[in-house]
Structure 1
């Protein structure tokens, strides 16, 4: 289970250096998301450490980074505001249990139902969200304490350092890959700022502005085990269960979509169900150790992959480096310029956004182009789970409509004068109207055959349509012959059952979607 170097393409050096790079970028993200959720910075940092370590060790995707995320934080804030942080810890534990159940029930496979246009919209929307989140770093407090946009020298210094960071990340790999370019950029910019005495915000300035505490620090202790201090009764369950269910769904959707993206980048295959269990175990543990819970992080995962991290060692080392910073190296992390981390995240944005989607949108069907834009927009406006749900629903409706309108039938008359209908395409809820409109019971001959050899009866609506068709011909005093129906169809047909002609060798064996067979 703990195969730290499961990927043959990975190297210890690359994994450790990429882990260090990721850990540096995790600090401000964890603090920011803790602030969004309304909890102390250390709650976010503990979550980043514990979720990152456990999912790296037992999750289903080596090289993927997990931690505290904004998608979960925006859901948590209402719970914390109304009931306090202890209820959040209890919710995170229940969230983890639900995710373990999802993995045990093999629900990870349903990520296959997410169409490619939804995936494109997901990564584009998330890239925009990451970009917008960085814009807050271009604000500073004025004399009254209000956050306003930087101006003058402060703005030019910030922009210059961001541009320098991005330039190093872009050009250094052309010269050497001995050290991850993101890590090199952070070290160079940090050295430049302190060597020249440049006046620009550092990580500790960011933390203090977020907390409003001029003495705030990132130095902490090891997280300690504690059972959430909430009443163990029905009322508590009614409070935390709705939040846990939403958080579990969002966490799994974001994790599985990120897993799919990393699969594409590395040309390898992760294990979705194992990732569900890994995320669940991580969140259960985090809830008992004072963390806010988390899921996969696309930004940090991109940093890790681009820095050469491929195996479980990269994710585990990132978490352990983060813990080391908290325990022993807080003063080193606190001095890193925010501009350097913003530059790193801007490069993540450029690498995450699917720029090819602009080119292919003129070539793919308009419905797919609409889905890409729709999912991107909803991701930015609301959250990831809603965006993916909307995208899947729109894609499913479009798929159903296309197949409904493509329902056709070939007709012929045999030597006996019987008219034979051969439906083409699936018969399901959306195509039943087209199916019924193909037949002319009044003008058809005495004997009519419906041959389902090139069709498939998919659901209960289709069965009802066949029964309705049988009624029409019975009212006209004509005989309807139904051929090539599966045994399940024959069993569930009520009014047309006696009209089915059985051919054991040729009849299909597929099952029809209906509760009656359950």
Structure 2
């Protein structure tokens, strides 16, 4: 990645200023994702406030920003359209409870199963998604009510202000790092636009374009404090069946995106977050969202990158972002509404450059083609579909690739010992992928009376390997030949049905390892 990190340490000044910057960037995305989910803008803003505040306070990754996200918003669309927003609140509560349970049962550790190419694909895919989302800011409402691309002077001004924003963010740290470059860029562009009365779209213009015609004149980001309310849905089995599928998907999508973002920030800051604690933090935040009228959410890689790039490292940065966002909603909505979209687009374009893993091009040239395929696949599925499906597909494909490659590495060297016994010295894993080749290595009919299978440089991974060894022992017995099995673990011996009587036990030399099977559970 580009080295956009200004500091490694946390301090109050950096956290506060970085939090203010993040709060400015949260507004348009929270509003946009609310419309994606089919709910009012204030529901998205409440979600950004509550998610950011709670996860920053009790989550497992200081410096990571959470809020309303597109990955979760698209999951909500069908439920809101069919049953209404109250069912959404109930589903968010249930999703939060499931996330808390994931943390309590320490399921966050399974994020380690995500291979490196999948991680790169996730990062690159989200960078592309963030980039494509910003292109929507270059559209305006046409006379027919639809959206069309900017043209003429407005387009040139938008492009110029976006480029100027990016230039300030890039050049200012070379002069001073006393204040976040992103915050300086937003303030500068805002003063420039209103001082020179430039024809530039602002945040409130973006909100108006998303609202029906009868609400455009009264559009505002001003609001009140979120209030507690139990979702108005029947508390019965039918309701549970309605919200459960959505809740499970929200739970999984939220945790996958949050834990992968946590891993990314760990790399950037050379620190380590706590995945299980983050699961609980995300769960508590989503549960509170459901009771206080928010649409829920998860970690946001774009805003998290803004925070890290601006020097935010501690919990105070996320807390500041949430509190400042609430302050905007309650007291300073007009100030937020006047911010030019070009400034926020410029900030997000810098985030895209910093987020995209440019080193993946070296991987494509230098590493095996299987990893390159997985990287491209996850990137494409992230862009076309969503993050959860992309990660699941990537993990499955990576596992199949690994199984295929591992299955090819089993071999046997044979020799005749001083007693005239034929010894098969195995090397490589015996599991479901390699058992076909394992069986073909033995010449049952042509072998002498005594045959030895030595597992000193091999091991049995699963019950398929156990069954293959049992089957082989049965064939030798039918030929009237004596099979000797050496250096096999105690667990494997306990699972053998036909070959157990052929095992030669050597307490000092026999290995001790666990085999993947439910029979030992």
Structure 2 residue matching 1:481: 3-state secondary structure = strand
1 CA distance for matches of 2:172 and 2:329? Answer: 30
Name the residue aligned to 1:101: 101
2:228 aligns with one of 225, 234, 255: 225
2 CA distance for matches of 1:513 and 1:355? Answer: 38
Name the residue aligned to 2:33: 33
Map residues 277-316 of structure 1 onto 2, 5 A cutoff: 277-316=280-319
2 CA distance for matches of 1:184 and 1:476? Answer: 84
1:386 aligns with one of 384, 389, 396: 389
- Do the aligned partners of 2:104 and 2:276 also contact (CA within 8 Å) in 1? yes
Name the residue aligned to 2:443: 440
1 CA distance for matches of 2:459 and 2:290? Answer: 49
2:405 aligns with one of 402, 407, 411: 402
Greater Cα shift, 32-41 or 452-461? 452-461
2 CA distance for matches of 1:210 and 1:411? Answer: 74
| Structure 1 residues 140-173: Cα deviation after superposition (integer angstroms, max 9, x where no partner) | 1111111111111111111111111111111111
Structure 2 residue matching 1:320: 3-state secondary structure = helix
| CA positional deviation for 1:360 | 2.4
- Do the aligned partners of 2:139 and 2:148 also contact (CA within 8 Å) in 1? yes
Structure 2 residue matching 1:198: 3-state secondary structure = coil
2 CA distance for matches of 1:484 and 1:144? Answer: 78
Cα separation, partners in 2 of 1:8 and 1:171, compared to 1, 3 Å:
closer
Name the residue aligned to 1:431: 434
| CA positional deviation for 1:454 | 1.0
| Structure 1 residues 228-272: Cα deviation after superposition (integer angstroms, max 9, x where no partner) | 111111111111111110110010000000000000000000011
Name the residue aligned to 2:4: none
- Say yes or no: does 1:52 pair with 2:52: yes
2 CA distance for matches of 1:425 and 1:401? Answer: 13
Name the residue aligned to 1:238: 241
| CA positional deviation for 1:8 | 8.6
2 CA distance for matches of 1:426 and 1:52? Answer: 47
- In structure 2, stretches of 5+ residues that fail to align are 1-6
- Do the aligned partners of 2:409 and 2:429 also contact (CA within 8 Å) in 1? no
Name the residue aligned to 1:87: 87
1 CA distance for matches of 2:275 and 2:412? Answer: 41
2 CA distance for matches of 1:251 and 1:344? Answer: 24
| CA positional deviation for 1:437 | 1.1
1:251 aligns with one of 241, 254, 271: 254
| CA positional deviation for 1:453 | 1.2
| CA positional deviation for 1:60 | 0.6
| CA positional deviation for 1:355 | 1.4
Aligned length: 512
- Do the aligned partners of 2:18 and 2:312 also contact (CA within 8 Å) in 1? yes
1 CA distance for matches of 2:106 and 2:455? Answer: 33
Name the residue aligned to 1:4: none
2:358 aligns with one of 355, 360, 366: 355
| CA positional deviation for 1:357 | 1.2
- In structure 1, stretches of 5+ residues that fail to align are 1-6
1 CA distance for matches of 2:309 and 2:414? Answer: 59
- Do the aligned partners of 2:162 and 2:342 also contact (CA within 8 Å) in 1? yes
Structure 2 residue matching 1:454: 3-state secondary structure = strand
Name the residue aligned to 1:18: 18
| CA positional deviation for 1:482 | 0.9
Structure 2 residue matching 1:179: 3-state secondary structure = coil
2 CA distance for matches of 1:412 and 1:237? Answer: 65
Under a length normalisation based on structure 1, what TM-score does the superposition of the two structures give? 0.98
2:421 aligns with one of 406, 418, 422: 418
Structure 2 residue matching 1:235: 3-state secondary structure = helix
1 CA distance for matches of 2:240 and 2:486? Answer: 54
Structure 2 residue matching 1:310: 3-state secondary structure = coil
2 CA distance for matches of 1:461 and 1:360? Answer: 34
1 CA distance for matches of 2:244 and 2:63? Answer: 31
2 CA distance for matches of 1:453 and 1:230? Answer: 62
2 CA distance for matches of 1:413 and 1:223? Answer: 81
1:452 aligns with one of 455, 469, 474: 455
Map residues 100-139 of structure 1 onto 2, 5 A cutoff: 100-139=100-139
| CA positional deviation for 1:76 | 0.4
1 CA distance for matches of 2:519 and 2:144? Answer: 68
| Structure 1 residues 276-299: Cα deviation after superposition (integer angstroms, max 9, x where no partner) | 111011101111100000000000
Q: Which stretches of structure 1, 4 residues or more, deviate above 6 A after TM superposition?
A: none
2 CA distance for matches of 1:67 and 1:456? Answer: 47
| CA positional deviation for 1:17 | 0.3
Name the residue aligned to 2:202: 202
2 CA distance for matches of 1:76 and 1:143? Answer: 31
1 CA distance for matches of 2:211 and 2:54? Answer: 28
1 CA distance for matches of 2:366 and 2:333? Answer: 51
1 CA distance for matches of 2:208 and 2:430? Answer: 62
Structure 2 residue matching 1:445: 3-state secondary structure = coil
| CA positional deviation for 1:58 | 0.7
| CA positional deviation for 1:359 | 2.3
